[in-house]
Structure 1
Amino acid sequence: MTTTVAPTTNTRALLTCAAVAAPLWAVVALAQAATRDGFDLTRHPLSLLATGDLGWSQVLNFVVAGLLTTLGASGLARTLPSTWAPRLIRVNGIAMVAAGLLTMDPADGFPSGTPAGTGELSWHAYGHLAAGTTAFGTLIAACYVLARAFARTGRRGHATRSRIAGTALLLGDLWAMAGGTAGSLTLAVGAITAMLWVSYVAVELR
Structure 2
Amino acid sequence: MEQDTEFDTAAAVTRSMLGWGVVAGPFYLLVGLVLALTREGFDFAQHPLSVLMLGDGGWMQVTNLALSGAMVLVAGIGAARAGARGTGIAVGVYGAAMVASAIFPPDPMPGFPPGQDGATTISVSGLLHFAFGGIGFTALAVAAFLLGGWLARHGERGGAVWSRAAGVVILVGFVGGAALGPAGMGGLWLAVVVGFLWLLLASLRLYRAVPHPEVARR
- The reply to whether TM is greater than 0.5 is yes
The amino acid across from 2:94 in the alignment is: N
CA distance in 1, matches of 2:129, 2:49: 12
Aligned residue number for residue 69 of structure 1: 72
Secondary structure at the counterpart of residue 68 of structure 2:
helix
Aligned residue number for residue 97 of structure 1: 99
- CA drift of 1:128 comes to 0.4
Identity %: 35
Aligned residue number for residue 84 of structure 1: 86
Secondary structure at the counterpart of residue 179 of structure 1:
helix
Contact kept in structure 2, 1:168 and 1:191, CA below 8 Å: no
Aligned residue number for residue 42 of structure 2: 39
Secondary structure at the counterpart of residue 57 of structure 1:
helix
Contact kept in structure 2, 1:177 and 1:183, CA below 8 Å: yes
Aligned residue number for residue 158 of structure 2: 157
What is the CA RMSD across the aligned residues, in angstroms? 1.8
Residue deviations 1:38-70, cap 9 Å, x none?
111211122111111121111111100111111
TM-score, normalised relative to structure 1 = 0.91
CA distance in 1, matches of 2:6, 2:124: 49
- CA drift of 1:107 comes to 2.1
CA distance in 2, matches of 1:169, 1:96: 15
Contact kept in structure 2, 1:52 and 1:106, CA below 8 Å: no
Contact kept in structure 2, 1:99 and 1:128, CA below 8 Å: yes
Q: How many residues align?
A: 204
2:29 to 26, 29, 37: 26
For the structure 1 residues 167 and 86, does the alpha-carbon distance in structure 2 shift closer, same or farther, using more than 3 Å as the test?
same
CA distance in 2, matches of 1:54, 1:165: 33
Kindly report structure 1 stretches of 4+ aligned residues shifted beyond 2 Å: 1-5, 30-35, 203-206
Secondary structure at the counterpart of residue 105 of structure 1:
coil
CA distance in 2, matches of 1:180, 1:70: 28
CA distance in 2, matches of 1:139, 1:201: 12
- CA drift of 1:33 comes to 2.4
For the structure 1 residues 15 and 28, does the alpha-carbon distance in structure 2 shift closer, same or farther, using more than 3 Å as the test?
same
CA distance in 1, matches of 2:192, 2:23: 15
Contact kept in structure 2, 1:45 and 1:185, CA below 8 Å: no
The gaps in structure 2 that reach 5 residues or longer are 208-218
The amino acid across from 1:95 in the alignment is: A
Residue deviations 1:112-160, cap 9 Å, x none?
1112x43112211111011111111100111111111111211112112
The gaps in structure 1 that reach 5 residues or longer are none
CA distance in 1, matches of 2:107, 2:182: 21
TM-score, normalised relative to structure 2 = 0.86
For the structure 1 residues 3 and 95, does the alpha-carbon distance in structure 2 shift closer, same or farther, using more than 3 Å as the test?
farther
